[in-house]
């Protein structure tokens, strides 16, 4: 987008003629691209309520719905969430895809920035997988550790299930299980990630993941790994 202030000013002349000389630029040209402010997470506990803070689940709900949720800023189209250092443990069991409990469901375009994989830990608490990226969502995650996800019986993707477009950068994905923790449930695959969409891992380590089928990553979509490792994967069969 070209902004009016980037163009030669009328008093300095414009050899090809300034179309706005002597007049005002059209308002449409003065408009700058709207950039939604990042949604800042302020609480480590897992909740979706109105107690005056902004949990990670509340921040994702604000981004998903483009509304204010508790004290989280309202999302607005493609959003960014900042997650400071801390351990964020999921604690609201039950399975649904509306981000109200269980895993963190992402339905829209979203960037999640942690403070670094050593300091921002997203812990599934063994109640469900950690992130569930829905069809049509375009998501970028960086600077996180994702651990202790457990997708439950016959559910794929212990740490992440991706049906959208997901890029994970500079993160650690460690100790997640497809199925119940250490029970190797039948039909569960992709201990760390089950990908049916478009997955890119950059500078990311995937390790110590268990599943009946595909301890590390099961990919039925497309996947690119750049400077990333997959290690210590265990299969029950
Ligand atoms: Ca809250
Ligand atoms: Ca949004
Ligand atoms: Ca889900």
Q: Convert the pLDDT of each residue in 9-59 to its tens digit.
A: 334 434 444 444 444 444 444 444 456 789 999 999 999 999 999 999 999
Lowest mean pLDDT among 25-29, 78-82, 141-145: 25-29
- Residue spans of the domains in the chain: they are 39-235
Maximal C-alpha separation, the chain: 77
Q: Residue 94's pLDDT is what?
A: 85
Ranked by mean pLDDT, the top range of 25-34, 118-127, 211-220 is 118-127
The secondary structure of residue 8, as a DSSP letter, is P
Q: Which residues surround ligand 1, an ion (CB under 5 A)?
A: 47, 49, 51, 53, 70
**Distance between CA 44 and CA 229 in Å, rounded?**
29
Lowest mean pLDDT among 72-81, 111-120, 162-171, 210-219: 210-219
For residue 6, is pLDDT > 90?
Answer: no
Q: Mean pLDDT over residues 150-168, rounded? A: 89
Give the pLDDT band of residue 99 (cuts 50, 70, 90): very high
b/e burial code for range 134-170 (CB count within 10 A of at least 16 → b): beebbbbbbbbbbbbbbbbeebbbbbbbbbbbbbbbb
Which ligand minimizes its atom distance to the CA of 128? Answer: 3
Distance (angstroms) between ligand 1 centre and the Cα of 54 equals: 5
* Residue 74 β-bridge partners: none
**Residue 88 half-sphere exposure toward CB, CA atoms < 13 A:** 30
Q: Which residues surround ligand 2, an ion (CB under 5 A)?
A: 63, 66, 75, 79, 108
Distance (angstroms) between ligand 1 centre and the Cα of 151 equals: 25
For residue 236, is pLDDT > 90?
Answer: no
Which ligand minimizes its atom distance to the CA of 162? Answer: 3
* Residue 225 β-bridge partners: 201
Which ligand minimizes its atom distance to the CA of 69? Answer: 1
Q: Residue 235's pLDDT is what?
A: 54
Distance (angstroms) between ligand 3 centre and the Cα of 181 equals: 17
Which ligand minimizes its atom distance to the CA of 65? Answer: 2
Task: Tell me the average pLDDT of the chain.
Answer: 83
Q: Residue 185's pLDDT is what?
A: 47
Q: Mean pLDDT over residues 130-142, rounded? A: 98
Give the pLDDT band of residue 121 (cuts 50, 70, 90): very high
The structure's pTM equals: 0.81
**Distance between CA 23 and CA 25 in Å, rounded?**
7
Contacts of 100 (CB under 8 A, 6+ apart): 48, 61, 92
Reported as a single tens digit per residue, the pLDDT across 163-176 is: 999 999 999 999 88
For residue 92, is pLDDT > 50?
Answer: yes
First-to-last alpha carbon distance for the chain, in angstroms, is: 55
Which ligand minimizes its atom distance to the CA of 137? Answer: 2
For residue 217, is pLDDT > 80?
Answer: yes
Q: Which residues surround ligand 3, an ion (CB under 5 A)?
A: 97, 103, 105, 132
Rounded to 5 degrees, φ, ψ at 223 are -150, 140
């Amino acid at each position: 987008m070209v902004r009016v202030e980037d163009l030669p000013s009328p008093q300095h002349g414009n050899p090809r003629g300034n179309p706005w000389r002597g007049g005002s630029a059209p308002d449409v040209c003065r408009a700058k691209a709207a950039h939604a402010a990042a949604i800042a997470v302020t609480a480590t506990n897992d909740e979706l309520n109105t107690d005056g803070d902004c949990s990670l689940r509340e921040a994702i709900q604000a981004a998903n719905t483009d509304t204010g949720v508790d004290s989280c800023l309202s999302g607005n189209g493609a959003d960014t969430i900042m997650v400071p250092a801390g351990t964020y443990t999921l604690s609201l069991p039950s399975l649904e895809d509306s981000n109200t409990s269980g895993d963190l469901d992402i339905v829209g375009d979203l960037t999640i920035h942690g403070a670094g994989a050593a300091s921002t830990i997203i812990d599934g608490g063994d109640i469900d997988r950690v992130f569930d990226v829905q069809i049509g969502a375009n998501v970028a995650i960086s600077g996180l550790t994702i651990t202790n996800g457990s997708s439950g019986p016959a559910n794929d993707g212990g740490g992440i299930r991706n049906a959208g477009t997901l890029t994970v950068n500079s993160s650690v994905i460690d100790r997640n299980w497809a199925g119940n923790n250490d029970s190797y449930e039948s039909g569960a695959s992709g201990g760390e990630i089950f990908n049916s969409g478009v997955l890119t891992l950059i500078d990311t380590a995937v390790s110590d993941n268990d599943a009946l089928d595909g301890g590390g990553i099961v990919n039925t979509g497309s996947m690119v790994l750049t400077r990333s490792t997959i290690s210590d994967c265990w299969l029950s069969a």
